[in-house]
Structures are given as C-alpha cells and as structure tokens.
Amino acid sequence: MTRLLVLGSTGQLGLALQRLTLPRGWEIQTLARADLDLADTGAVETALRAARPQVVINASGYTEVDKAERYPELAFALNSLAPAAMARAAYALSAPLVHVSTDYVFNGEKNAPYLETDAVDPINVYGRSKAEGEAAVLSSIALSAVVRTSWVFSADRANFLKTMLRLGETRRDVRVVADQRGRPTPANELARICVALAERLLDGDKNACGLFHCAGAGEATWADFAEAIFSEAERYGCAPVQVQRISTAEYPTPARRPANSRLDTTKIEALGLTPMPWRDSMRDYVKQLLR
C-alpha cells in the first residue's frame, strides 16, 4: 500500500481528496486538527515523521483572508512555518510533497493571466504568508509541487457558492463586486490534479516538480460567478436574485484583494492535467445542495 497523508483533511480540498478514487494501491491517512494543531509548528515535523507517509498533500491553510490582517502570526504559522516543517519532514522521509498556494501572492496589476514565472507581490497578510510558504517548500524539498489555485468552491465548508445560495434564501437582490476577475476552481478538480501530481512525483517525474497554476477553466468576476449560481438555483425552484454589480471601492474589506486573479494554466495543461470548466462543477454542486 502507498500511504498518502492529507493535512487539512476537513477543508474543501481535504474532503474532495477523500472522495476521489485514488490510484490503485493507495490509502489515505489523515491528521486533522484534533490529531495535530498545525499552529503548533514545533510539533509538525515530529508528527509527520511518526506518520511515515510515502507521499503528502498539504490541503491545510489559514484561509480567512480578512481575519489574517488581525492575526498575522497565526496566518504565518499555518501558511508558512507549518508547510516549511512539512517539507523538512517529507524530505527526511523521501516522500514527495504537494503543497497548495494561492493567486493572492500576486498584486493583481497585470493585464493578463499570471504565469508561474511572474514575480510575486502580495498585497495582504494572507498572500504574504502563502508566498513565504511556497518559497519554503520549494527550497526545502526538490521532490515537490506547489499548486497555486484560486476562488475554490465546493458543496462543503464556507465558500462563495454557499454564501450566495444562503443569501438567495432571503434576498431578491445582492450586491456583488464586478471589478475583480479570476478563475473559480472546483475543489474536486483541484483534488484530482493534486493527486495526479503526487502520483507523478512518486514515479520520480521531474516534470511534475516545481510551481504550477491550477484553476477552473473559464474566467469570471465575482458578479458573473454569482449570476451563474443564481441562474442555476432557479432550476431547482429558487426565486430569482438580481445581482447588483458594484466596485471593490463600494465593498470595503480589511484585506485588499487583487483586481486580476487570473492564473494561466498552460504549464499544468502541458502535463495533460487540464482543469475542467468551473461552470460544470458549479452545476453539480448546486444540484447536490438544492435537490
């Protein structure tokens, strides 16, 4: 048996990983918060070494972008120090590591989709902590893939899709930001691609090492995303919801967000790993939640 250790097994990506049909001969091992508090970064390396996995996917993270402004130490512990410790343990075990990062490492000022070779320049605490985490992983263990993704959604946990469906229960119109553009990413697609990378790393495939962008096919603004969700929800008897398209300035948040979050996925697609359109998974998730 090949033991795959998943950190962050209770999150959107972690749950999607557990629902996947894994490669033949693989079994999933998890260390959830109750087993290992990743904020206790001193304990991370010991716990991973004790678990003795053959391959690791880090699906954990401090993902509350606004709260990270108030709790930078926690954000850096989870998003930078813990992944660094995971990478050290994985290196010691000769276990490949797939680590997940974010579009928010960029400042959003580029007028085209971001490439893996573009310089990072985060504009909030979350982005800075994730940028440090990916650098720590890449410098600690050669047999690793860092997968930057964006706008993750699923039928689990808190995410934009579930927020829109909840608002739609009571409101007939919703104000949504229309000047931030990105690529919504279904957690199931991200999970599939992380496992495919893990499998290739285990086979010693050097092409699977390094930095990759992985995001659902198709672009949208948050307002476009919301409109697509509400329109799909109507198919299940939900009342129509009007999306009022507003600017970022009209919706102030503690953390700044990049206006352009689009990740170019050409590099990962060249490996034969092409993310499916976000609209397809959005329809599946809405059906799952409203049927």
Residues labelled catalytic: 126
- By the rule CB under 6 A, 102 interacts with ligand NAP: yes
Residues within window 64-93 making contact with ligand NAP, judged by CB under 6 A:
78
Nearer to ligand NAP, 61 or 122 (CB): 61
Interface with ligand NAP by CB under 6 A: which range of 98-106, 192-200, 235-243, 265-273?
Answer: 98-106
What's the gap between Cα 207 and its chain centre? Answer: 21
Q: Which residue is nearest to ligand NAP (CB)?
A: 11
Interface with ligand NAP by CB under 6 A: which range of 88-96, 105-113, 148-156, 265-273?
Answer: 148-156
Question: Do 33 and 62 meet the contact criterion of CB atoms below 8 Å apart?
Answer: no
Interface with ligand NAP by CB under 6 A: which range of 57-65, 134-142, 162-170, 245-253?
Answer: 57-65
Helices (H), 6-97: 12-19, 41-51, 67-70, 72-76, 82-93
**Smallest separation (angstroms) from ligand NAP to the CB of 240:** 26
Site residue total, ligand NAP (CB under 6 A): 26
Radius of gyration of the chain (CA): 19
Q: Which residues contact 198 (CB under 8 A, 6 or more apart)?
A: 4, 55, 57, 96, 98, 145
Nearer to ligand NAP, 134 or 232 (CB): 134
Nearer to ligand NAP, 62 or 76 (CB): 62
Q: Which two tokens stand for residue 49?
A: 């070494």
- State whether the Cα torsion 124-129-134-135 is positive or negative: positive
**Smallest separation (angstroms) from ligand NAP to the CB of 137:** 11
Nearer to ligand NAP, 10 or 231 (CB): 10
Residues within window 163-192 making contact with ligand NAP, judged by CB under 6 A:
none
Euclidean distance between CA atoms 149 and 172, whole angstroms: 31
Q: Which two tokens stand for residue 213?
A: 């962008």
- By the rule CB under 6 A, 201 interacts with ligand NAP: no
- By the rule CB under 6 A, 149 interacts with ligand NAP: yes
- By the rule CB under 6 A, 39 interacts with ligand NAP: yes
Euclidean distance between CA atoms 24 and 16, whole angstroms: 18
Q: Which residues contact 166 (CB under 8 A, 6 or more apart)?
A: none
**What are φ and ψ of residue 240, in 5° steps?**
-60, 145
Classify residue 20 as left (phi > 0), alpha (psi -120 to 50) or beta.
beta
Residue ranges in contact with ligand NAP by CB under 6 A: 8-14, 33, 37-39, 59-63, 78, 100, 102-103, 130, 149-152, 157
